[in-house]
Amino acid sequence: MRRKIVAGNWKMNTSVAEGELLVDQITFLSKDFDPNVEVIIAPPFTHLSRIADVLKSKKSKIALAAQNCAYMESGAYTGEVSVDMLKELSCKYVILGHSERREYFGESSETLLKKINLVLNAGMKPIFCVGEKLEERESKQHFEVVAAQIKEVLYKLRGVEFANVVVAYEPVWAIGTGKTATSDQAEEMHAFIRRAIANKFPLYAEDTVILYGGSCKPSNAKELFSKDDVDGGLIGGAALVAQDFAAIIKSFD
Ligand code: PEP
């Protein structure tokens, strides 16, 4: 059976103290979590050290992710954070290719390929986001767009490397908008992504975890997670409210 994952992307939200409180609340609620669901949180860089300590002190199984990383290894790159620094802070995952990074910071597939290789070489796992914009869906180009995002980055990996990648389908029109893809729309794209992966990595496609992201909340998570190819969620807004995040984690059948 495929692994199930729920990951919370905090984006540029919370102070360190608020983040610590949120982790306290989530770890308290985690007593009721299904141990077969891996829970990941991605706080801002500035919070990682403190939150890693809190998780460690509570012997929590919640894994830590970074929201981004540099595409260079080290050196004179003012303001950047390297994969080695993230590894040192106990990050197990790094979110890459989020639509906000692609759109506001001009991240191209070329840059993402450099980042994904660095993350994999450092022994961490990328959560690689793909997804189409509203106009692309409206002009029925969504499959083409997502296929290109996969081919330009994931197809360049070797199978053994790809085996460590988690994919997140995040339709851009659903992120932070309150507009969720229907479970059928999500399943249609997730199945398409799995087929695209199977074309290149036949040995790994069945085990690849594909998360849905885009206004996922307690009221729609169960329906989304009931679909065959939806293996969990990448959660933005709802991950900032411990009870909502916990309810989403408990939404698997
Ligand atoms: C996200 O940004 O990854 C996301 C899914 O955000 P939200 O849940 O707020 O739509």
- Predicted confidence (pLDDT) per residue in 82-100, tens digit: 999 999 999 999 999 999 9
Q: Give the pLDDT score at 253.
A: 79
Q: Give the pLDDT score at 122.
A: 98
Kindly tell me if the per-residue pLDDT of 1 is higher than 90: no
Gyration radius of the chain over CA positions: 17
Task: Give dist(CA 67, CA 81) in Å, integer.
Answer: 11
Q: Using pLDDT thresholds of 50, 70 and 90, give the confidence band for residue 176.
A: confident
Q: Give the pLDDT score at 8.
A: 98
Kindly tell me if the per-residue pLDDT of 192 is higher than 90: yes
Does 82 contact ligand 1 (Cβ within 6 A)? no
Q: Whose CA is nearest to atom 2 of ligand 1?
A: 236
Task: Give dist(CA 229, CA 212) in Å, integer.
Answer: 10
| Range in 5-9, 79-83, 100-104, 178-182 with the lowest mean pLDDT | 178-182
Candidate list 107, 170, 187, 190, residue with the active-site label? 170
Kindly tell me if the per-residue pLDDT of 213 is higher than 90: yes
- Could you tell me the distance, in angstroms and rounded to a whole number, from the CA of residue 107 to the centre of ligand 1? 18
- Could you tell me the distance, in angstroms and rounded to a whole number, from the CA of residue 127 to the centre of ligand 1? 14
- pLDDT above 70 covers what percent of the chain? 100
- Could you tell me the distance, in angstroms and rounded to a whole number, from the CA of residue 211 to the centre of ligand 1? 12
- Residue in the block written with tokens 């984690």: 249
Q: Give the pLDDT score at 177.
A: 87
Look at residues 55, 78, 80 and name the one whose alpha carbon lies nearest to residue 65. Answer: 55
Mutate-to-test residue for ligand 1 from 11, 68, 175, highest number of ligand atoms within 8 A of CB:
175
Does 215 contact ligand 1 (Cβ within 6 A)? yes
- Could you tell me the distance, in angstroms and rounded to a whole number, from the CA of residue 226 to the centre of ligand 1? 19
- Could you tell me the distance, in angstroms and rounded to a whole number, from the CA of residue 145 to the centre of ligand 1? 19
CA dihedral 152, 63, 235, 224 (to 10 degrees): 90
Instruction: Enter the tokens of residue 74.
Output: 């080290």
Say whether 107 is catalytic. no
Does 175 contact ligand 1 (Cβ within 6 A)? yes
Say whether 170 is catalytic. yes
Look at residues 168, 177, 220 and name the one whose alpha carbon lies nearest to residue 6. Answer: 168
Q: Using pLDDT thresholds of 50, 70 and 90, give the confidence band for residue 229.
A: very high
Q: Give the pLDDT score at 180.
A: 86
Cβ-defined contacts of 54-60 (< 8 Å, 24+): 54/20, 54/23, 54/24, 54/27, 55/23, 55/27, 55/90, 56/90, 58/27, 60/27, 60/30
Kindly tell me if the per-residue pLDDT of 179 is higher than 90: no
* Mean pLDDT confidence for 41-52: 98
Candidate list 98, 136, 142, 190, residue with the active-site label? 98
